[in-house]
Amino acid sequence: MTHDLRLNIEVMDAAHETFLQMLEQLQKMEGGAIDTALFREWITETKRHFAEEEKLMMKHLYSERETHTGDHEQLVDEMESFFTMITSMPPMARSFIESYAYDKFRRHTMFYDLDLAKFLSGNEAG
* 43 in Cβ contact with 79 (< 8 Å): yes
Residue 18, Cα to own-chain centre: how many angstroms?
Answer: 9
- Ordered domains of the chain (ranges, CATH): 10-125 (1.20.120)
Query: Does the pLDDT value for residue 5 go beyond 90?
Result: no
Which tens digit of pLDDT belongs to each residue from 25-73? 999 988 778 999 999 999 999 999 999 999 999 999 999 999 999 999 9
Cβ atoms < 10 Å from Cβ of 105 = 19
Using alpha carbons, select from 24, 4, 26 the residue that is nearest to residue 13: 4
- Say what the pLDDT of residue 49 is: 96
pLDDT at residue 1 greater than cutoff 50: no
pLDDT in tens, 63-103: 999 999 999 999 999 999 999 998 899 899 999 999 899 99
